Each structure stands twice: as C-alpha cells, then as structure tokens.
Amino acid sequence: MADVIVLGAGMVGTASALALQARGLDVVLADRRAPGRETSYGNAGIIQGEAMEPYALPTNPLALLRLGLGAENAVRWTPAGVLGQAGALLRYLAQSRPARHAAISAIYAQLIARAVPDHEPLVAAAGAGNLMRPRGFRQGWRSARAFDAARADAERQVRTWGIEIEVMDGAALARAEPGLRAPYAGAIDWRDCWACADPGALVAAYAALFERQGGSLARADAGTLTRAGAGWRVTGETGPIQAARVVLALGPWTPAALKPFGARVPMVAKRGYHLHFKGERTLNLPFMDTEVSAVMSPMRAGLRVATGAELVPMDAPVNRSQLARAEARAREMFELGDAVEPEPWFGTRPCLPGMLPVLGEVPGQPGLWAHFGHGHQGFTLGPVTAGILAGAMAGERSEMIAALDLRRALA
C-alpha cells in the first residue's frame, strides 16, 4: 500500500506528487489519461511571474454592461453558462470589490513570487531546459490612449510588487519582434515571466522525473475512488491501488468528484480555446493583443493563438467566435499560414470565487485531500502550492496554509 495516491496528472497533480515524494512519501500519480494532456496542455505556456493580482470581475457597472452585451472579445457567455454557475459568479463578483481584491492580491502575490524559483530546479532536474525561454511576455496596445493607461497601471504594479517591466514604444517592439507587421502604439514586456514551448511536454517531463525518482504512474478513473478500511482505493487499469491518503487534483473536474463525498465547491468554469498556425516568421516571446484578448505563443507545434474566457457549461459545443476574432487579428500581424489542426482545442480554467487555489482535507473524510482551483495561473502556480500542500499534509501550520484552506471555498 502506498502512502498517497494523487489523482490528476496535470501541472498541479504532477507537482503535488513530486513535492510529496520529496518528503519521503511513497506516491502513486494516477490519471485517466497520460500526464499533462488536459488544461495543462492547452494553455498559453507562460509562467506568469508578473501576475501578482488575480483576475477580478469588473465591478464597475459600465464595464459589466459591456461584458453583458458581448462588446469585449475577452468574455463570451451563454444564458446556460451564466445561470448554471450564477451562485459562483455572484460570490466572485463580491470578492472582486477593490478592498477584497487588494487583500486577496496580497496573498496571491506571495505565491506568484515563488513561481519561477520553484519551477527552476524542476526544469533543471527534469532536463526540460530546451522547452523554456526565459524571460518575458509582451502585451501590446494599438491605441495610444489605451497604452498610456496600461503603462500607468503597469508602473503602479512595479511600485506595489517590485516586479520588472520594460516599456516599449512601437519602434522598440518592431525591433524586438521583426515578424510582427501590424502597428502597435506600444507594449509592456513583463520581464519576470518564463515561456514554455510545449506546456504538456513540461508536465510529462515532470512526471518522468517523478517516475525516475521512484514514484509510480498509473491509469485510473477518480470515479472509482472508495474508502478501503482506514485508507482509500481506486481501480487502476492493472488492478486496485490503495493508499493511506489520496489527493484530488483534477483541475476543473474536482468539484464534481468531491460531490459524492459531501463537499460542494462553487466554481466558475472559464473555457478557453487555442489553435496552432504554421506561419514561418512569428514571435520570439508570447504576445498578448489586449484589444482582442488573444495570447499568441510561439510553440513547438506552431504559433498558438489562445482566447479569453467563455462562460459556458463544461460540455457545451465548440463556438469559434472568440477564436475567429483572435485569428483575424493575428492575420493582420503575421503571415499566419494554415491552421495545424482542423478543430480547436478547448479546456476550462478552474476559477474559484475567492480567486485563490485551495488545498486541504475534506471535512468528515479523513485522508481525502483536495488541491485545485488555480484559475488562470495553474501552469504557473502548480509547484508553489504543491510545496504548501506537502507541508499541510505533514501537519505543518502557517498563515498561507490557512489562507488556502479548502474549507474557505465550500458552499
């Protein structure tokens, strides 16, 4: 019998398995698919060392109205998507008030500050340095007015959080990115970020490191999880797997998996899409066109064009409207070439109304832990909160463990 089964081998679960292993525990990392094939595969690949303030919902009525009317490509919604998660959205709105958001950011910033330092030794040990591009992530504006406002806000963030930026005018951006042909008034280069050319491969490399260090990988479905004596059991492809404790790190699928165990966690599901393009000259660093909320990341598979948030049920059919606007913008910027795939990838950012990821033991279920809710920055934060989880499971207490306590997120 193992010490711990970690269910879910995305960035969060894989990093959790490594952190528990580093504490000397015998760990099985189980997933119904290979490691890193879901949300942790399809993201924009940025280790966001700049994202000190998590995404809040707009609380200004005019901005909310613009979102409601579909005026921004950043957000698309359907009635079923909004009504189906109305409770979670209302909580999220309440947490987005400026004073609450500032208090949450003070905690979030401590996590983000550790993201690059916590990834760095894992990248080295996993031999994955070839996937990483330190440093920078650029965000550009075509309108001079919007750029001036964004620059003022970026400078505020530099003063508040001590992050590093480079402010670029249009000419500096054109020199840095010669493949870019559209005119931009200016850009901010967020210097604390790292970019990954294949996020799924990075997770797979972390999982291979975990295995090389003596951990076990398994295929199993979390739906088979049951209590077994004082411990827990799942049915794996090659037979039952038992452990004293289990961690559910199923990303956006975690709330549904927790339900049968009596824990209800409201979550806002923000879907995002991507498609790769074959164009020859693209970008050196990931670039966000802020006016269409599209991130374009140079990946091994091509230029990945990724979209903002779509508020729809997790099983809703594909809607290409946000991606179409992002693609049209990208075609103004580059010789984009053909799409690599016929159909876009999509996945769900698991966003909790409190904007912080959570970890902890499920009340009334000794030995059943959960670790999820990393929203827009799970690829960034997996190793950071994994270290905190391992401490909590070893019985440590800290202000951070209390701040991320699963019980805060329960309905």
Ligand X SMILES: Cc1cc2nc3c(=O)[nH]c(=O)nc-3n(C[C@H](O)[C@H](O)[C@H](O)COP(=O)(O)OP(=O)(O)OC[C@H]3O[C@@H](n4cnc5c(N)ncnc54)[C@H](O)[C@@H]3O)c2cc1C
| Selection from 208, 195, 197, 49 nearest residue 131 by Cα | 197
Distance, in Å, from the CA atom of 237 to the CA atom of 224, rounded to the nearest integer, reads 11
**What would you report as the CA-atom Rg of the chain, rounded to the nearest whole angstrom?**
21
* Rounded Cα distance, 360 and 400, in Å: 12
The yes or no reply on residue 11 touching ligand X (CB under 6 A) is yes
Is there binding between residue 12 and ligand X (CB under 6 A)? yes
- Contacts to ligand X from residues 225-254, by CB under 6 A: 249-251, 253
Question: Residue 338 CB, nearest distance to ligand X (Å)?
Answer: 21
**Which residue reads 């290409």 in tokens?**
320
Helices (H), strands (E): how many in the chain? 14, 21
3-state helix, strand, coil in the chain (%, to 5): 40, 25, 35
Q: Are 243 and 4 in contact (CB under 8 A)?
A: yes
Residue 131's nearest CA partner among 39, 217, 36, 53 is 36
Binding letters toward ligand X, positions 158-197, x by CB under 6 A = ----------------------------------------
Q: Which of 119, 142, 233, 349 binds ligand X (CB under 6 A)?
A: 349
Of the pair 142, 371, the CB lying nearest ligand X is at 371
135 prior amide bond cis, ω within 30:
yes
- Min CB(300)–ligand X separation in Å: 15
Residue span 379-398 as binding mask against ligand X, x where in contact by CB under 6 A, dash where not? xx------------------
Instruction: Write the interaction track for ligand X spanning residues 13-42; mark x where CB under 6 A is met and - where it is not.
Output: x-----------------xxx---xxxx-x
Residue appearing with tokens 């990093």: 15
Among 138, 245, 329, 376, the residue binding ligand X under the rule CB under 6 A is 376
Nearer to ligand X, 27 or 222 (CB): 222
| CA distances from residue 216 to 36, 98, 210, 213 in whole angstroms, order as listed | 16, 45, 8, 9
Contact segment (CB under 6 A) with ligand X among 52-60, 220-228, 327-335, 395-403 equals: 220-228
| Least distance to ligand X, CB of residue 409, Å | 14
Residue 7 vs 150, nearer CB to ligand X = 7
Which residue in 274, 276, 325, 329 binds ligand X (CB under 6 A)? 274
With b meaning 16 or more CB within 10 Å and e meaning fewer, what string describes 332-353? ebbebbebeeeebbbbbbbbbb
Q: CA 21, CA 318: separation in Å to the nearest integer?
A: 39
CB of 271 to ligand X, least distance (A): 7
Stretch that binds ligand X, among 8-16, 73-81, 235-243, 313-321 (CB under 6 A): 8-16
Q: Give Cα 292 to chain centroid, integer Å.
A: 20
3-class SS of residue 274: strand
User: Would you say 33 or 97 has its CB closer to ligand X?
Assistant: 33
Q: Smallest distance, Å, CB 160 to ligand X?
A: 21
When asked if residue 378 is in the footprint of ligand X (CB under 6 A), the reply is yes
Among 222, 292, 323, 330, binds ligand X (CB under 6 A): 222
Count of residues in contact with ligand X, rule CB under 6 A: 40
| 292 forms part of the interface with ligand X (CB under 6 A) | no
Minimum CB distance to ligand X smaller for 46 or for 128? 46
Q: Could you tell me the CA-to-CA distances from 2 to 211, 248, 315, 393 in Å, in that order?
A: 14, 15, 34, 15
CB of 304 to ligand X, least distance (A): 9
What does the binding site for ligand X look like in residue numbers (CB under 6 A)? 7-13, 31-33, 37-40, 42-46, 48, 221-223, 249-251, 253, 272, 274, 306, 347, 349, 372, 374-380
